[in-house]
Amino acid sequence: MIFINKSGDGSDSRGFSFTEESNSDGTAYFALKGHVGLNEASFMEDLLEKAAQSGCNRIIINMCLVNSFSSAGIRVILAMYKKLKSTGGKLQIDNPSENVKNVIGLVALDELLLR
C-alpha cells in the first residue's frame, strides 16, 4: 500500500486536506477533510482522474471529516462515478459526515454513492 499526502503540508488555508492509499487490487482509497468547494473540487477531480488513468477501477472516498460539500464536489463525484461504471468500475462514498449525507440525499444520489 502506498500513502500519499496530496496537499503538501496536509491542508490549505480553509482546512481542506486530502490523502490517498492505493493497493494492488485496483482500489484507491481517498480521505477528505474540511471544506469541499469549487477550488477543492477541481483539485479532487484531477486526483481522481489520475487514479482512474493509473488503473484504479474502484474508488472509495471517506468523507467523515468533510464539514462543507458544494455542488462542484457533487459534479466531480458523479462524473467519476459514471466514468468508472461505464468501464465496470465503482465509486463509493464511505462514512459520510451528516453534511455530506444531507447534500447527497437532497440530490437523490444516496442510493448510488453511499456505502
Report the predicted TM-score, pTM, of the whole model to 2 decimal places.
0.79
Structural domains present in the chain: 2-113 (3.30.750.24)
Would you state the pLDDT for residue 35? 86
Would you state the pLDDT for residue 107? 80
Would you state the pLDDT for residue 34? 86
State the 10-residue block means of pLDDT for the chain, 115 residues long.
Answer: 38 56 81 86 89 90 89 92 94 90 81 70
Would you state the pLDDT for residue 3? 34
How far apart CA 101 and CA 93 sit, in angstroms, is 10
Positive or negative torsion for Cα 45, 49, 52, 54: negative
The candidate with the shortest Cα–Cα distance to 109, out of 47, 51, 96, is: 96
CB of 94 closer than 8 Å to CB of 62: yes
